[in-house]
């Protein structure tokens, strides 16, 4: 059972999210919070697996709450669900430890999938967010050796699919390998690139041009 805490300063949004998530047999909404201070306290008390977090809130905002939540409970996954499209908030949230970043224009299924993926430690980026990340990171980073040169061909294939938003099961199906093998490849990728998680790996792949700008990976 995935324990979810909903954090948003608008009650209608909280109630709507709870109604949506309550329809899922493997999800239990354990609480609602209206600001960041309430969220930090509730995480320590309710021990949710996933926090569905708005960024723009009174008192302690979402970014402040996110940093405190991750410091207090590193295993708790945070899915940002916000109407804010500014790049500065997006990157700050990712740096602070957000597992996923969705806009409130996302569909119900997308939100549910993001929550269940986060519970497995898998990241989801809103397609428009991924596009903005790409635009923001077009300037090549000064890295040595050349981008991706440390990776095997298979690891580059896996990294490409991670950047495309695929979860482990989908990657395994597409590459005809098992989920455990996918996990091993991802662990090796993170170690070789000195990255902390899948989200950073996806951003790296976009930044370094390892993912084609258009169309599906070949």
Block residue for tokens 């903005």: 132
Sorted by where each begins, the domain ranges of the chain are 2-131, 137-207
Report the pLDDT value the prediction gives residue 35, as an integer from 0 to 100. 94
pLDDT, mean of residues 34-38: 95
Q: Which band of pLDDT confidence, cut at 50, 70 and 90, is reported for residue 218?
A: very low
Q: Which band of pLDDT confidence, cut at 50, 70 and 90, is reported for residue 131?
A: low
Domain 2-131 identical in fold to domain 137-207: no
- The reported pTM is 0.64
The vertex-91 CA angle with 112 and 149, nearest 5°, equals 95
For the domain 2-131, what is the CATH code?
A: 3.40.50.2300
Question: Concatenated DSSP letters for 147-210?
Answer: TTTTS-HHHHHHHHHHHTT--HHHHHHHHT--HHHHHHHHHHHHHHHT-SSHHHHHHHHHHTT-
For the domain 137-207, what is the CATH code?
A: 1.10.10.10
DSSP 125: B
Report the pLDDT value the prediction gives residue 69, as an integer from 0 to 100. 95
pLDDT single digits (tens) 84-105: 776 677 888 888 889 999 999 9
- For residue 78, what is the enclosing H or E element? strand 77-82
- φ/ψ (deg, to 5) at 144: -140, 130
CA dihedral 204, 114, 107, 1 (to 10 degrees): 180
Q: How far apart are CA 12 and CA 85, in angstroms?
A: 21
Q: Which band of pLDDT confidence, cut at 50, 70 and 90, is reported for residue 123?
A: confident
């Amino acid at each position: 059972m995935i324990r979810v805490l909903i954090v948003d300063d608008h009650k209608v949004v909280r109630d709507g999210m709870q109604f949506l998530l309550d329809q899922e047999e493997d999800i239990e909404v354990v609480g609602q919070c209206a600001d960041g201070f309430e969220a930090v306290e509730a995480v320590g008390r309710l021990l949710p697996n996933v926090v569905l977090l708005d960024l723009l809130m009174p008192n302690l905002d979402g970014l402040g709450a996110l940093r405190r939540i991750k410091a207090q409970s590193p295993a708790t996954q945070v899915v940002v669900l916000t109407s804010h499209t500014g790049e500065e908030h997006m990157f700050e949230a990712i740096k602070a430890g957000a597992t996923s970043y969705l806009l409130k224009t996302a569909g119900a299924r997308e939100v549910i999938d993001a929550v269940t993926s986060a519970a497995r430690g898998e990241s989801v980026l809103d397609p428009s967010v991924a596009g903005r990340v790409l635009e923001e990171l077009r300037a090549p980073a000064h890295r040595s050796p050349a981008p991706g040169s440390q990776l095997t061909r298979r690891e580059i294939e896996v990294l490409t699919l991670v950047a495309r938003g695929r979860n482990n099961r989908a990657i395994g199906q597409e590459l005809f390998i098992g989920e455990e093998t996918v996990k091993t490849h991802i662990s090796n990728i993170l170690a070789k690139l000195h990255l902390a998680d899948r989200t950073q790996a996806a951003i790296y792949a976009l930044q370094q041009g390892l993912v084609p700008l258009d169309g599906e990976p070949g």
